[in-house]
Amino acid sequence: MTLSITKRLKRYTGNDAATTFAYDFLIPLITDIEVSIFDSLTSVTTVLSGSQFSITGIGSASFGEVTYPLAGDPLPATSDIIIKRTVPYTQSMDVTNQGGFLPEVLEDQLDAIVMQVQQLAEEAGRTILGPSGDTFDLELPAKANLVDKLLLFDSNGDPIAGPSAANISAAEAHAAAAAASAASAATFGALWADGAGAADVITAAYTPAVTTRPDGLMLGVRATASNATTTPTFNPDTLGADTITKKGGAALAVGDIAGAGHELLLRYDLSNTRWELMNPASAAASVTLPASAAPTPSTAGEMEWDDDDDFLVIGDGSGQVIIGSSRGRRTAFIPAASFTPTITNGAEFGQVELATNDVMLKSLDFDTATRENAQIMLFLPKGYDGGTFFCIFVWSHSTTATNYGVTWGAEMRALADSGAIDQAFGTAVEVTDTGGTTDDLLIAPETAAITAAGAPAGQQFLSLNIYRDPVDAGDNLAIDARFLGLALMYVVNLETDD
C-alpha cells in the first residue's frame, strides 16, 4: 500500500454533542493509536486507556473513526480530542538467506519506516529551530536551576535561567510605585512652596500649580509667622481657604505653627474639607505624679510613682494595678556542668545516681582541704545596668556524721572588646550555708553585692570564678561539697536587646 498522506494526527474541539470523530490516515495496528483529551481550562492533557474509547478502521486504507465517550456526556466545548498514530521505532522484518521473500512484507516494513519518518517530522515541526547557517548551543541549564523561572537567552544567544515569577511581580510593583511617584511629581512639582498671606491666613503658590485637592494630598509650606488663633486657614493656588487642624481634627493650639521658617506638612482631608497639620510644634502637656517608696492609691484612676522600684501604680477602686517599668532584676541559673574547672586546683566533675528513684545529679565536687575553683564566661545583655551582681549557690552533700557547714565564694571580672582576657578578678564575696541531711537540695542564702572588676556594661563578657573556702571558720564539712548550680542576679534597664 502507498502512503500518500503525510499527517499522523487529527484534532477536534468538543461541541457538547459529537461523540464520533473520524480520522484520515492509516493506523496499521491497534497498538499504534493514542487518544488523548486536552482540557483548555486547566491546560492538562490526559491520555485515554483503550477501555475509554472504541475505534474502527484499524489497518484499513479507508480509515475509520473513534467513539468517545462510550457513555455519559459528550465532549464539552472546553476540551479537545486528539487522535494520533504512534508507531514504535523498531524493525520487525527478518529476511533470511534462501528463505521466502514476500513483496507485501517488504512494503509493510517500508510503510512502517515512512510512518516513523512522518512521526519524527511532525514532532520536529513543534520544536524550536534556528535559522539555517546559525550555530546554537541549546543545552538547557540544570532542571533544579529552572524551577519557577523564565527561560532567557544570554548575549551569546545561549539559554539561561531567568527571573522567577516572584521577581517579576516585585519588579512590576516597584515600576508601578515609581510611575505613581513620577506622575505625582509631574502634577504637583516638589509639593513645597514659600508661604504668604498672614499668620492665620496662609497662602502659597506652587510650580506647577496645584489644580485640585484630592483626599490625602500632601503639601509642604514654609510658615511666615506663628499662628495667633486656633483656626488658621490654608489656601494653595487660590483653590479656597480651609481650616488647619491637628491630625484627626482637633483644633490647633496657639503656637502650633512655631513661627517664621516652620516647615509645615499639611495633608488634605476631603470628607471634612480641612488641612491636617502633621507636625505641630506644641508638645503634649506634662503631668507630675506624686511619688513614694511604697505608693497605695485607692481611688479609681489615681496614679502614683514608686520611686524605689521604678513603676507606676494605678488605683482601681478596690486595689492597685502595677504598670511595670523595664528596670528590674533578672536571674540566670547556671548548672554545674556549664562551668569549667581550673587546671590548677580545679574542682572535679561528679555524677551520682540516687538510690531510690534513680535521680541523676551532675556536680562539681569541691575539696574539704584545698581551695578549688571553677569558672564560666557569660555575655551580658544590652539592657544590663552596669551595677553589682548577686549569687545563690545550690549544692548538696553525701553521708557524713557531723559538721555540715560550707563556705562558697564568687569573684568576677568584666571584659570589654579588644581588652586582655587574663586580668585579675574583683573582690570576692563569700557566703556560708549549712547542710545536714544526705542528698538534700541545699540553697544557700543570697550573697552580698558583688562588684565585678573592670568597667562592666551591657554587651560585655563577664568572667566568673567560684570556689569553696575550706579555711574559713564556717566551713567544716569533712567531705566534698557537691556544687549543683548557681543563680546569678543582676539589674537591667531594657526589656529586650533590640
Here the CATH number for the domain that contains residue 373 is 2.60.120.260
What distances in angstroms separate CA 252 from CA 232, 260, 280, one per listed residue? 8, 17, 8
Question: By three-state DSSP, how is residue 120 classified?
Answer: helix
The DSSP 8-state label assigned to residue 110 in this structure reads H
The answer to whether 10 touches 36, Cβ cutoff 8 Å, is: no
Domain-located, residue 150 = no
Check whether residue 431 and residue 468 sit in a common domain.
Answer: yes
Domain-located, residue 412 = yes
Check whether residue 271 and residue 314 sit in a common domain.
Answer: no
Half-sphere exposure of 58 (CA within 13 A, CB side): 10
The per-residue pLDDT string of the chain (498 residues; one tens digit each, 9 = 90 and over) reads 677 788 889 999 999 999 999 999 999 999 999 999 999 999 999 999 999 999 999 989 899 999 999 999 999 999 999 999 999 988 888 777 877 777 777 878 788 888 888 888 888 778 777 777 777 777 788 888 888 888 888 888 888 888 888 888 878 876 765 555 455 455 444 478 999 999 999 999 998 888 999 988 899 999 999 999 999 999 999 999 999 999 999 999 999 999 999 999 999 999 999 999 999 987 545 567 888 877 888 888 788 887 766 678 788 777 776 676 556 789 999 999 999 999 999 999 999 999 999 999 999 999 999 999 999 999 999 989 899 999 999 999 998 878 999 999 999 999 999 999 999 999 999 999 999 999 999 999 999 999 999 999 999 999 999 999 999 999 999 999 999 999 999 988 776 777
Domain-located, residue 268 = yes
Check whether residue 318 and residue 266 sit in a common domain.
Answer: no
Check whether residue 354 and residue 464 sit in a common domain.
Answer: yes
> Which residues are within 8 A (CB) of 302 and not within 5 positions of it... i.e. 6 or more apart?
314, 315
Domain-located, residue 27 = yes
> Which residues are within 8 A (CB) of 319 and not within 5 positions of it... i.e. 6 or more apart?
298
**Whole-number pLDDT of residue 157:** 80
Please identify, among 65, 93, 121, the residue that sits at the C-terminal boundary of a domain.
Answer: 93
Domain-located, residue 437 = yes
**Phi, psi (5° rounding) for residue 247?**
-60, 125
The burial class, CB within 10 Å (0-12 / 13-18 / 19+), for 158 is middle
Please identify, among 50, 67, 93, the residue that sits at the C-terminal boundary of a domain.
Answer: 93
Domain holding 360, by residue range, is 330-492
Check whether residue 340 and residue 200 sit in a common domain.
Answer: no
The answer to whether 282 touches 253, Cβ cutoff 8 Å, is: yes
Check whether residue 321 and residue 334 sit in a common domain.
Answer: no
Beta strands in 199-293 (DSSP E): 201-204, 218-222, 233-236, 242-246, 263-269, 274-277, 291-292
Question: By three-state DSSP, how is residue 81 classified?
Answer: strand
**Whole-number pLDDT of residue 286:** 56
> Which residues are within 8 A (CB) of 1 and not within 5 positions of it... i.e. 6 or more apart?
26, 61, 107, 111
**Whole-number pLDDT of residue 453:** 97
Write the DSSP assignment of 141-199 as a string of letters: PPHHHHTTEEEEE-TTS-EEEEEEHHHHHHHHHHHHHHHHHHHHHHHHTTSEEEEEEET
Question: By three-state DSSP, how is residue 339 classified?
Answer: coil
- Residues 179 and 169: their CA atoms lie apart, in Å, by 15
Check whether residue 248 and residue 295 sit in a common domain.
Answer: no
Domain-located, residue 216 = yes
**Whole-number pLDDT of residue 56:** 96
Check whether residue 347 and residue 477 sit in a common domain.
Answer: yes
**Phi, psi (5° rounding) for residue 123?**
-70, -40
Domain-located, residue 155 = no
Check whether residue 241 and residue 388 sit in a common domain.
Answer: no
The DSSP 8-state label assigned to residue 251 in this structure reads P
Domain-located, residue 53 = yes
**Whole-number pLDDT of residue 456:** 95
Closest CA to 431 of 462, 398, 466, 457: 466
- For the beta carbon of residue 271, count every other beta carbon within 10 angstroms: 6
Please identify, among 93, 122, 156, the residue that sits at the C-terminal boundary of a domain.
Answer: 93
Check whether residue 315 and residue 394 sit in a common domain.
Answer: no
Check whether residue 343 and residue 455 sit in a common domain.
Answer: yes
Domains contained in the chain, number: 4
Check whether residue 33 and residue 51 sit in a common domain.
Answer: yes
The answer to pTM > 0.75 is no
Closest CA to 332 of 396, 378, 388: 378
